[in-house]
Amino acid sequence: MNAAVRAVVRMGIYVGAKVYFIYEGYQGMVDGGSNIAEADWESVSSILQVGGTIIGSARCQAFRTREGRLKAACNLLQRGITNLCVIGGDGSLTGANLFRKEWSGLLEELARN
């Protein structure tokens, strides 16, 4: 997993994107705060031999609800994050697809509030 994280961070930086870690997966996206932190070239140095993932992972019941996804969208917008690269299995990709489908509606709802 760390090899994938490193590749995404370094390619993002290479193409000129501002790259962020979201610690503990969707739970970190819903909780926001220090769970979303900018990544740089050095932050992924020497991680290939480390087991697991340096950004952690967690199941997130809140993200399964629209309210949770609304919080996640708000936390991303507060940092100017408009694109995600989700690395994970079926549950991660299913969540990402649902978030993608709802994105416009979530933005509209946030704009009304």
- Map the chain to HEC letters: CHHHHHHHHHHHHHCCCCCEEECCHHHHHHHCHHHEEECCHHHHCCCCCCCCCCCCCCCCCHHHCHHHHHHHHHHHHHCCCCCCCCCCCHHHHHHHHHHHHHHHHHHHHHHHC
Q: How many domains does the chain have?
A: 1
* CATH code of the domain in which 85 resides: 3.40.50.450
- Confidence class for position 67, pLDDT limits 50, 70, 90: very high
What's the whole-number mean pLDDT along residues 53-67? 95
Residue range 52-70: average pLDDT?
Answer: 96
User: Is 113's pLDDT higher than 90?
Assistant: no
pLDDT mean over 48-74: 95
State which residues form the domain around 12.
Answer: 1-112
pTM: 0.92
Per-residue model confidence as pLDDT tens digits over 3-57: 999 999 999 999 999 999 999 999 999 999 999 999 999 999 999 999 999 999 9
